[in-house]
Structure 1
Amino acid sequence: MSPRRLLDGLRWYVSEFTGEAEYDRYCERHRQAHPQAPVPTRREYEVLRTRHQELRPGSRCC
């Protein structure tokens, strides 16, 4: 395995693990659904995500 491919795999794994990839996917969906609207910053996205989780707790125990 080449060092470049190993580094790309590691970068992907860290991005998925930290949640950065989730924000990137959200931005892409937002751009497609609302092309004229500004994309929320990472901080704004986290606030929206937290509010959504609090309003719809689903299967959380607490």
Structure 2
Amino acid sequence: MNTVVKGLRGFATYMGSLMGADAYRKYLEHFEASGHSGPAMTEREFWRDRMDRQDSNPQGRCC
């Protein structure tokens, strides 16, 4: 049973990464690694900026 639960969690993590659920975490990692000065965007600001950029520059989205 434990193996099944681990498999399902792994699958959920994989699907979340495909859908972009981990995008903010990746943004923060990149922000810190790049040595930017100043504060990073909040999660709300990040998602708003991401949606605005996708709306003004659509690229291969299904919807």
- Structures share fold, TM-score greater than 0.5: yes
User: 1:38 corresponds to which letter in structure 2?
Assistant: P
Q: Which runs of 5 or more residues in structure 1 are unaligned?
A: none
In the alignment, which residue of structure 2 is the partner of 1:57?
A: 58
Q: Report the CA distance between 1:60 and its aligned residue.
A: 3.7
Could you report, residue by residue, the CA deviation over 1:1-44 in whole angstroms, capped at 9, with x for unpaired residues?
Answer: 47xx57x6477457537744221011111122243221111100
In the alignment, which residue of structure 2 is the partner of 1:36?
A: 37
Q: Percent identity?
A: 27
Backbone CA RMSD of aligned residues: 3.1
**In structure 2, do the counterparts of structure 1 residues 59 and 18 end up closer, same or farther at CA, with 3 Å as the change threshold?**
closer
Q: Which runs of 5 or more residues in structure 2 are unaligned?
A: none
Q: Larger RCO: Structure 1 or Structure 2 (Cα < 8 Å, ≥ 6 residues apart)?
A: 2
Distance (Å, rounded) in 2 between the aligned partners of 1:61 and 1:19: 14
In the alignment, which residue of structure 2 is the partner of 1:24?
A: 25
